[in-house]
Structure 1
Amino acid sequence: MCGIVGWVNLTGLGPDARAIAEKMNDEHVRRGPDGSGVWLSRFAVLAHRRLSVIDVKHGEQPMLLPSEPGSDTRFALTYNGELYNYLELKSELTSRGHKFRTSSDTEVLLAAWAEWGVRAVEHFNGIFAFAVWDNREETLWLVRDHLGVKPLHYYHDGNDLIFGSEAKSILAHPDVVTAVDEDGLRQLALPLLKFPGTNPYSGISEVLPGQILEFSRRGVRTIQYWDIKDFIGRPTESENLGDAVERLRSLLDDTVARQTISDVPLCTFLSGGLDSSAVTAIANRLPGRDGVSSFSVDFSDAGDSADSRSAQDRKYAQEAADHIGSRHSNIVLDSSLLAGVDVRDATILARDLPNGFGDLDTSLLLLCKEVRKHATVALSGEAADEILGGYRWFHEPGAVRADTFPWIADTPAHGYLHQRVLSTIDPELARSLRLDEYLRDEYSTAIGGLSFDRGLSKGERRHREIIYLATSYFLPMLLDRTDRLSMANGLEVRVPFCDHRIVEHLVTLSQHIHNAGGREKGVLRDAVKDLLPVGVLERKKSPYPTTPDPDYSRQLEEQFASVVADPPDGLSDIFAPHVLSPGKVTDLARSHGLVSNFEGEVVLNFASWFRQYSPKLAI
């Protein structure tokens, strides 16, 4: 995994182009600590920071084709990701006359592009975000993987197109201003949604999952090569549970086998939940992987809290590890470290934005930091809940019936987190931004873009609507969080449940199959029942743990009081006056629920963001 940046100007780059690209590239040093490179032509400059995973000694980027000294470059590539089927592709391309000088998947991707052009993506199985510059055609292509696991941002202004893995690299360009317009403010006020293709910073957009963006003298055009909407509305694939289970298990076995290909140490995240336990168990059965390393997160004070989420995770994670045979480590995080201002600042810097989940984010950042001491690649069980209906809001009647995104409905299905955030926003700002109207329009647009086979029942259509909403507006938020906080530590996280073949299979199964045996994710439970202990197999969905330490809340209270006493510029433009009142410190810094201290965490996140980024707000 890596960080990529670039800049194309079709009237010609100026004399400072290399220096600017190097400055942008330096923003990704944590994503790619193992090397860097810059390639410059008259109209384009590409840069790359490398985290070596496959072919550690070779595969430097940007990579060129032809690569022979003295030859005119046709294609230049900067690439972030992994092609899990690169060995099969390499064999096919060799039979077509291509010759390879490295063992890297980068060279395979570049040869595939030279062979098939934009249709190369039809051959790819992996997670990727890359840019290809065609020197002959004077055309840039930006390409993102099917589910958008790897990030890819861009800024387009007339003759310029500037791109990068993270917004911070684009903001480092002298022609881009760190500003947030009204739409950006709406997105910041609605942190539980990630609106497709958008970014709160003015002028910065994202290449959509499954999309190719082309930039040439003809302008900008996009090609949607894969879209989950094309599968959501199809007839039910099969009503035979046995067939569905067999197919899912076959896909999981193949996907995990592909995703354990690595030339550096590899491990798994193991929370003791169904999804991560399934991934760990399958990985551990592979040849040469017996005794795979697994890691879970815990908190220093959780020992006396037997009913806390972290204590429950510790119990089930160890039960799963003992049964599977993984070499398990429980990473215990000290609450004083977790509450550190420097850790919050590092988390906000990694994410570029104040949107977040308090100690759920800081603990993930610290977990990845510890895991990176032992491994460079980790497998995660993320995304199973979104494509299989594992969350409470897939089943709670009020959330299912709500005429909005189910996880922000006014029900207990997601801990009222949406309502808790809105309660902190300045009422005048909320009215001026017309947040309710904005949400209604976004929801209507999302649902209106779906069409279903006439044979699907009303209940089945709603189930699939929620899957679409979850994978398009909720999962991207989690994938972005995981990518940023892991790559900030030079750790690559792979997500087997985001293999597009698994998604295509699961979204066309009936709700009855998804909930086989009367349990959410029943089809997955049946697919891996031979691999896991009964306790783990039957465990109810448990959210990511939050620290139960009262001392953590006390430290947040002190920090909150300090911020209220001397707020950074901009903070009072976002939050209601009563929120920044000394009398509210204890209430906001010690509120509890699905995410403890959530309101106070939101304010502290914004304070950190204002200090580090000094954004210009459209207020």
Structure 2
Amino acid sequence: MSGVTGWVDFTRDLTREHATVLAMTATLAHRGPSGEGVWVGGHAALGHRRLAVYDTPEGGQPVAYRPGTDPVAVAVHSGSILNHRELRRELTARGHSFRAGGDTEVLLRAYLEWGASCVDHFEGTFAGGVWDARSEELWLFRDRLGVEPLFYHPTPTGVIFGSELKAILAHPLVDAAIDAEGLCEVLTYSGTPEQGFFHGIHRLRAGHRLRVRADGLTRECYWAVSAQEHVDDFDTTVATIRGLLEESVARNLDADVPVGVLLSGGLDSSAVAALADRALRPAGQRVRTFTVDFRGHEAQFQPNATRGTRDAPYASDVVAHVDADHTFVMLDPAEMADPVVRAAVLRAKDFPTPLGDMNTSLYLLARAVREGASIALTGEAADSLFHGVGWNRTPREANSGTFPWVARGTTPGERHGFPCGLLDPGLLDELDPFAYAERQFRTAIAEAPHLPGSTGEDRHMRELCYVHLTNFMENQNAHTERLFKAVGLQVRMPFCDHRLVQYAYNLPWELQNYDGREKGLLRTAMRDALPTSVIERRKTPYPVTQDAGYARAIRDELAALLDDPAAPVASLLNPAAAKAVLDNPDSLQGGWVRRGDVEMVLQMNAWLRNYHVRLLI
């Protein structure tokens, strides 16, 4: 259930605006290949594109409750309410009746029973809204960890909303303009929870709901991590982590369509695969797993400080260990550089990034997985919960006064780092994106909940955990969820279970740092379920190609851009820096970080042109 749009206007008759909402909904066709639905009332209109996950024949949206001729309430949502079967039984006992078997009708009936607090009862990843015709108000909501996206644009007389930015930008009242703060957000990867990049567009923050009435908008937090004393001993802590993750994996396997697991051979995805196997095995089912690799990668691979090993051997160890039904997805680096594929990635995300082949390869992987599954489980968020990222353990980055992932992209004494290396220095001085990131970091850590008297390293590491849950996860979700939904594949992240998140957030650093390495607790919790090779493997990021042909293709694209007098990004460039890249082709070899500055410029150029972006700087 994959894409929602809507428009509320308390001064218009929206029954005349069916075409507008239909056009907004059509932009999300990739998210919902199973069907389309639009409902239009007097002051509200809702649209939906469907990816069938539950009750595949009958689960269309929007869903309306009509005790008479006119609807009392109408609902749309994207994602999956994983406990919808239990809620259905509870609501039936309370006197509600159901027409279909999906989770959207459960959502609607839950709203009729509990009002806006219905979201407190939901488990899973979800985003959407309910129009209440009785009170003439709209409620929008987003899941606790923000896996499902939702953006909104307030108007003087209501609101326009959608699962993706493109749905809002399709509305004739919305201008694709970006101001200095929005551009800084693009350039820094800060992941500011409310930032929607385009001027006047906001992200609905994870764990929040928004009420829209004629007298204005009101945002409410219904869930956030809280500080609680951790009282469990080591063995109980390990057992609790294992138990919570087992329960989450089992819940995330619930669907009426095929489910697979993305398997990198790293600890996180391997844990999900192993626990999925244990959940499926009693019913005689094998877990389906998928691993990405690149043609020629085995011969070309050169280990470095970031990626010491290839994924394939470790993934093979897990496959043999659990007897998975496995597919190696072999990608051609030439296809990853294909302008058509790169344009599809930009269209999926709606804003430029420097991730280059990390984006295109994930998109192509998702497209291949979609041939065998409608849902993919991943190991994402484990690094945020258990300090698995290297920058949290590197003093220069962890103590930088900004987001550690932003600090990693700079060198000491440098104010404008990755991915700004080809941009005009005067523009960067005016924008000062690094100062923007520092401000957002200070705002974020000021929100982090602590126990009274919390000080020193324990306090600081909890702050870093918090900004990963709030800001870094916004980045990760925008990366994975959008690229998966671009091919009609739903992503589920078992590590995003709010009970597991709450428990991990309150682990003292002494426990988090068990064994003196990243994710020591998770390694211990999974030791009996995984091969020793995987348990002992050092953290390795998502793979990138080291193919020289890909780097040449990117260089050629940059050369063509510099020769194009109509290139929209030209006024933002530092021509000398760009020419230096062309004069030194080897500068693009060795991985995505070296290519990142070029990738960002290429993406920005396409973004400015294709989205008709107006710069307010």
- TM normalised by structure 1 equals 0.95
State the shift of 1:568 in Å.
4.5
Tell me the CA shift for residue 33 of structure 1.
0.7
1:417: how far off? Answer: 12
Structure 2 Cα separation of the partners of residues 94 and 410 of structure 1: 53
For residue 279 of structure 1, report the CA deviation from its aligned partner.
0.3
Equivalence for 2:406: 408
Deviations 1:147-167 (A, max 9, x none): 100000011111030000000
Q: Are 1:30 and 2:30 an aligned pair? A: yes
Contact kept? 2:158, 2:213, Cα under 8 Å: no
Of 101-110 and 533-542, deviating more is 101-110
Partner of 1:303: 298
CA distance in 1, matches of 2:352, 2:438: 24
Distance 1:568 1:288, change over 3 A: farther
Aligned-pair identity in percent equals 38
User: 2:228 — aligned with what?
Assistant: 234
Q: Name the CA distance, whole Å, in 2 between partners of 1:101 and 1:471.
A: 38
Question: What SS does the aligned partner of 1:421 have?
Answer: coil
Instruction: Establish whether residue 220 from structure 1 lines up as the match of residue 213 from structure 2.
Output: no
Asked if the contact 2:495–2:501 (Cα under 8 Å) also holds between the matched residues in 1, the reply is: yes
User: Equivalent residue for 1:202?
Assistant: 199
Match of 1:262 among 255, 259, 262: 255
Tell me which of 271, 274, 280 is aligned to 1:278.
271
2:345–2:359 Cα contact (<8 Å) kept: yes
Distance 1:585 1:94, change over 3 A: farther
Letter of the 2:515 partner, please give it. G
The secondary structure found in structure 1 opposite 2:441 is helix
Root mean square deviation, CA, Å? 2.0
Per the alignment, residue 188 of structure 1 pairs with 186
For residue 439 of structure 1, report the CA deviation from its aligned partner. Answer: 2.6
Distance, in Å, in 2 between the alignment partners of 1:514 and 1:470 is 15
Q: Is the 8 A contact 1:424 1:575 kept in 2?
A: yes
Shift in alpha-carbon separation, 1:58–1:413, aligned structure 2, 3 A: farther
Q: Deviations over 1:445-492 (max 9, x none)?
A: 222233422343411001101101111111210111111100000000
Alignment of 1:551-566 (within 5 A): 551-566=549-564
Instruction: Give the match for residue 3 of structure 1.
Output: 3
1:561, 1:582 within 8 Å by CA — same for their partners in 2?
Answer: no
The Cα shift of 1:262 comes to: 0.8
Q: 1:51 matched to which residue of 2? A: 51
Shift of 1:435: 2.7
Which residue is 1:127 aligned to?
125
AA at the equivalent of 1:9: D
1:247 aligns to 2:240 (yes or no): yes
**Contact 2:403/2:438 (<8 A) preserved:** no
The letter of the residue matching 1:28 is L
The separation in 1 between residues aligned to 2:580 and 2:525, in whole angstroms, is: 54
Indicate the SS of the match to 1:581: helix
**Is this contact kept in 1: 2:53–2:256, CA < 8 A?**
yes
Closer/same/farther in 2, CA of residues 585 and 57 from structure 1, 3 Å limit: farther
How far has the Cα of 1:247 moved from its partner?
1.0
Once the two structures are superposed, the pairs formed by residues 542-553 of structure 1 within 5 Å of their partners are 542-553=540-551
3-state SS of paired residue (2:48): strand
Aligned with 1:312: secondary structure? Answer: coil
Query: Which stretches in structure 1 are left out of the alignment for 5+ residues?
Result: none
* Among 514, 522, 530, the residue aligned to 1:516: 514
Write the letter of the residue equivalent to 2:177.
A
Runs of 4+ with deviation above 6 angstroms: 411-414
Residue identity in the other structure for 1:285: R
Q: Which has the higher mean CA deviation after the structures are superposed, 1-10 or 404-413?
A: 404-413
CA shift at 1:20, angstroms? 0.2
| Aligned counterparts of 2:183 and 2:204: Cα–Cα separation in 1 | 20
- How far, CA to CA, are the matches of 1:562 and 1:36 in structure 2? 40
Question: Does the CA contact (< 8 Å) of 1:290 and 1:325 recur in 2?
Answer: no
Q: For the residues of structure 1 that align with 2:583 and 2:181, how far apart are their CA atoms?
A: 30
Aligned partners of 1:589 and 1:601 also within 8 Å = no
Match of 1:293 in 2: 288
1:216-615 superposed matches below 5 A: 216-228=213-225, 231=226, 233-235=227-229, 237-238=230-231, 240-286=233-279, 287-288=282-283, 290-305=285-300, 307-308=302-303, 309=307, 312-409=310-407, 419-566=417-564, 568-581=566-579, 584=582, 586-587=584-585, 590-592=588-590, 595-615=593-613
Deviations 1:234-266 (A, max 9, x none): 33x135111111111111111111110111111
Look up the SS of the partner of 1:184 in the other structure: helix
Q: Gaps (5+ residues) in structure 2?
A: none
Residue 425 of structure 1: how far off its partner (Å): 2.3
Hey, what's the Cα distance between the residues in 1 that align with 2:417 and 2:442? 20
Q: Residue deviations 1:94-118, cap 9 Å, x none?
A: 1111111111111111111110011
Please give the TM-score of this superposition, normalised by the length of structure 2: 0.95
Q: 2:153 is matched with which residue? A: 155
Please say if residues 61 and 76 of structure 2, whose CA atoms lie closer than 8 Å, have aligned partners that are also in contact: yes
